Structure 1
Amino acid sequence: MVRFTDQALSRRNFTVGAAGALALLGLSACGAAQTGASATASPSASKKDLAAAGASTITMWLDAERAPALKAVADKFKADTGIEVKLVIKDFAAVRDDFITQVPTGKGPDLIVGPHDWLGKFVQNGVISPLELGDKKGSFQDSAIRAMTFGGSVYGVPYAIENIGLIRNTALVDSASATLDDVVAKGQAAVTAGKAKYAFLVGLDPKQGDPYHLYPLQTSMGVQVFGVDSKGEYDPKQFALGAAGSADFAAKLKAWGDTGTKILNSNITGDIAKEKFLNGESPFYLTGPWNVPDMQKKGLKIAVDPLPTTGSKAAQPFIGVNGFYISSKSANALATNEFVVNYLTTEDVQDSMFKAGGRPPALKASFQKAAGDPIVKAFGDIGAQGVPMPAIAAMDSVWADWGSTELNIIKGQGGDPAAQWAKMADTIKGKIGA
């Protein structure tokens, strides 16, 4: 994950922690501008008001693939208000930390585009302003709004939702399955018939495994990462990786791993899994929409199936929501809010962002149009049942131990799986003070 691109926003770095327009009804920017004064945007704000409120240029940090999708709306905003929107291409590997470092100095941008799991760090460092959307939240997918909410406030305007699904090569297996056992049985039948080499594929990082992709298999056995508070937000005090069902899941990891059925193969990285699926070597591939374009270029006939269960509960994936955040130190908070809430939330813009990235749109009206594509609809339906990846700061202390423990168990190393899992849970609890 080295570039601030569509694909980069889709793959999680587990060692570091890694979706109708909205009328602007008295939207308040709770963060102060550089002058120290707060700004309130209004649908009646005139061109003169916006220009007089601060700088004549709004700067947005984003990636190269999204920039073309926003050029037209930036041009329209300038024509309407006289204020230029400068689109600045940034490197994904450094942009989050650069934003956190530069905003307090007044040298950061007015806006940044990024995934919702940056939210906790942004709020913790006071570098973004919340948005008061009121009943207009209903224009967006509920899961997208939940992902952009922290401490009871909405901090980002979402435009896309992404999550994994089970992609099936329909030339090798002609029907979906409800359980992982059935998926594996059909995959093995394809292998036995000489049609495939692997019953099932999912890529694993050679050092950190892949808790992100394996999460729905875990949640189906009743094991979440964190519980939620009365507002439905993740509560770091309710750390849940050691809950009932965790020992059973740990045992499953070993049974599926290198010393078992090899459904989870520690020697198959994400790139290798993709290559083998593109070559028709497996009927099933657990992955996200970021790999679909290459499958289509290859001419594969695919379907996106609901995530298979491994236990008595639904298989809930993490969902990632990409959106627009407003700097708490914007040089022209009034104009920035006007641009975000009255321009970036229109169907035209959200449709354009979908065409650029291929992710199911966060705006309901845009998703309804995009869902004419059965693959987009399938990923969207799966995501509607998913849970936002935790954006709380404590999550940064979870990934490394979680991933390395899963990998050891999959490799058949380290002794008793249940004991390893319990030790991992205790270690993380100590780190986050749960």
Structure 2
Amino acid sequence: MKVESRAVAGLVVGAAVLAVSLTACSGDEPGSAPTTSKASQSLTVWVDANRAEELKDIAQQFEADRGVSVKLVQKEYGDVMKEDFVKQVPTGKGPDVIIGGHDWLGLFVQNGVVAPVELGDKAGDFSDVALRAMTYEGTTYGLPVSLENIALVRNTALADSTPATWDELVAAGQAVVASGAATYPVIIPSGQESDPYHLYPLQTSLGAPLFGTTEDGAYDPDDLLIGGTGGEEFAAKLVEWGKAGVVNTNITGDIARDEFAAGKAPFMLSGPWNLPAFDEAGIEYAIDAIPQAGQLPATPFVGVQGFFVSAKSRNALAANEFVVNYLGREDVQLALFEAGGRPPALTSAFEVASSQDPNVAAFGEVGLAGVPMPNIPEMGAVWNYWGATEAALVNDTAGDPAAAWTDMTAKIQADITG
């Protein structure tokens, strides 16, 4: 969905009157329209519990500087928060600003509930992957706050280095298992429906990315690339890895975390969210790039969280000001990093966090070479078939691997084209 010109025009018109007044916005209780002049001088921000406390000071500073109060409303992060926003904004209710994942953006734009965010010169202060994630059809809709991605976590007591290729890593892991020092050659979180997210770096390395991109770097749903020779090769590898115990659909995310924390594998594909468990267990580990499974680099998905401005905010300029010039500050992004543990999206804040924590630096280096998880609505058609097909291949119940992958690709294409 293209951005309506009146949305952009509204921001321009608003700029002309900012010096006179920062006017009304949807600022009472979430779900209610403002009814008083006091409400017109406030912004409502939906934020998760991890960030609410850290934003109190900056909200108070914004009120002192701009005369506009900021009400922070804690919401449980996830689908309910996202769906409430989509339902309430068209009625003129809901918040002025919301924290969310970049993969929500396609749904938000499709439903007309977010406004463009004017980053201006500040756009250059963020990494390319962060900006791409917050961009849809060439327009930026969010301020990036944090990034997360998976990498290879290595138990240094079981493996003193990371092999150059995935096949070599599997062989090294199998040698550790054969010695009796480990149970698994490598742990990859899966579950009964598989986990395409964790397997995607290996898939891209074999030449089967999801979508092509347009000239501006946006994903092109009309250019489905998951099939072809690369996809068929990946499908065959899934059968091979399943038989070898490299991928196991009985290993859920929680089991994967606990087994690695128990020292039962030399390698694991993991994000930073599991590190507290490894630290508590006393595991000594290193974080490395994922080795190539094919001729191309293993490219993980990168998830970006950020702040979006409601398309129906009656104080859009104040909301944009708060998001860009206050939430985009280095000290604020560092405070949010301390609260949530996710690497900051702002480059200068990331550099500070990296100097303080080598784990942030290691995951961040891998993430900068990754790609944003697609934020286009067409991903719904992909998820419907992707994991189920992978699970069948891993369990060797799909029949001919190439045929199974081709059939999956055809179904995805049919759903996208309608």
Query: Which TM-score applies when normalising by structure 2?
Result: 0.91
1:13-412 matches, within 5 Å, as: 45-46=18-19, 49-50=21-22, 55-91=40-76, 92-206=78-192, 208-257=193-242, 260-372=243-355, 373-412=357-396
1:16 is aligned to: none
1:355 maps to amino acid = E
Measure the CA separation in 2 of the matches of 1:41 and 1:244: 53
Change (3 A) 1:380 1:194: same
Q: Which 10-residue stretch deviates more, 262-271 or 134-143?
A: 134-143
Over residues 183-222 of structure 1, what are the superposed CA-to-partner deviations in whole Å (9 max), with x where a residue is unaligned?
A: 122222222222211111011121x211111000000001
Structure with the largest fraction of helix: 2
Q: Offset of 1:136 from its aligned partner?
A: 2.6
Measure the CA separation in 1 of the matches of 2:263 and 2:16: 54
Q: Look up the SS of the partner of 2:71 in the other structure.
A: strand
Measure the CA separation in 2 of the matches of 1:40 and 1:141: 30
Q: Offset of 1:40 from its aligned partner?
A: 5.0
Task: Check whether the contact 1:178–1:306 (CA below 8 A) recurs between aligned residues.
Answer: no
Q: Look up the SS of the partner of 1:65 in the other structure.
A: helix
1:410 maps to amino acid = V
Stretches of structure 2 lacking an aligned partner (at least 5 in a row): 26-38
Measure the CA separation in 2 of the matches of 1:213 and 1:52: 45
2:35 is aligned to: none
Q: Look up the SS of the partner of 1:118 in the other structure.
A: helix
Task: Check whether the contact 1:41–1:337 (CA below 8 A) recurs between aligned residues.
Answer: no
Q: CA RMSD in A?
A: 2.1
1:428 is aligned to: 412
Measure the CA separation in 2 of the matches of 1:348 and 1:384: 22
Change (3 A) 1:322 1:43: farther
Change (3 A) 1:101 1:177: same
Measure the CA separation in 2 of the matches of 1:358 and 1:364: 16
Q: Which 10-residue stretch deviates more, 403-412 or 86-95?
A: 86-95
1:401 maps to amino acid = Y
Over residues 239-271 of structure 1, what are the superposed CA-to-partner deviations in whole Å (9 max), with x where a residue is unaligned?
A: 1111321111100000000xx201001111111
Q: Offset of 1:39 from its aligned partner?
A: 6.0
Q: Offset of 1:82 from its aligned partner?
A: 2.9
Q: Which 10-residue stretch deviates more, 342-351 or 182-191?
A: 182-191
Q: Look up the SS of the partner of 1:316 in the other structure.
A: coil
1:329 maps to amino acid = K
Measure the CA separation in 1 of the matches of 2:135 and 2:246: 36
Change (3 A) 1:151 1:302: same
Change (3 A) 1:391 1:376: same
Measure the CA separation in 2 of the matches of 1:255 and 1:303: 27
1:20 is aligned to: none
Over residues 376-423 of structure 1, what are the superposed CA-to-partner deviations in whole Å (9 max), with x where a residue is unaligned?
A: 111111111111111111111111201100000000102111100000
Task: Check whether the contact 2:260–2:268 (CA below 8 A) recurs between aligned residues.
Answer: yes
Measure the CA separation in 2 of the matches of 1:37 and 1:129: 10
2:142 maps to amino acid = G
1:280 maps to amino acid = G
Stretches of structure 1 lacking an aligned partner (at least 5 in a row): 1-28
Point out which structure has higher relative CO (alpha carbons under 8 A, 6+ apart): 1
1:15 is aligned to: none
Change (3 A) 1:38 1:139: closer
2:287 maps to amino acid = V
Q: Offset of 1:51 from its aligned partner?
A: 5.1
Q: Offset of 1:298 from its aligned partner?
A: 2.1
Measure the CA separation in 1 of the matches of 2:73 and 2:41: 16
Measure the CA separation in 1 of the matches of 2:128 and 2:143: 12
Change (3 A) 1:302 1:185: same
1:424 maps to amino acid = M
2:239 maps to amino acid = K
Change (3 A) 1:43 1:114: farther
Measure the CA separation in 2 of the matches of 1:432 and 1:51: 42
Task: Check whether the contact 2:118–2:320 (CA below 8 A) recurs between aligned residues.
Answer: no
Task: Check whether the contact 1:41–1:338 (CA below 8 A) recurs between aligned residues.
Answer: no
Task: Check whether the contact 1:221–1:312 (CA below 8 A) recurs between aligned residues.
Answer: yes
Measure the CA separation in 2 of the matches of 1:358 and 1:153: 28
Change (3 A) 1:38 1:368: closer
Query: Which TM-score applies when normalising by structure 1?
Result: 0.88
Task: Check whether the contact 2:11–2:317 (CA below 8 A) recurs between aligned residues.
Answer: no
Task: Check whether the contact 1:31–1:329 (CA below 8 A) recurs between aligned residues.
Answer: no
Measure the CA separation in 2 of the matches of 1:276 and 1:366: 33
Measure the CA separation in 2 of the matches of 1:423 and 1:412: 16
Identity %: 50
Q: 413, 425, 429: which is aligned to 2:397?
A: 413
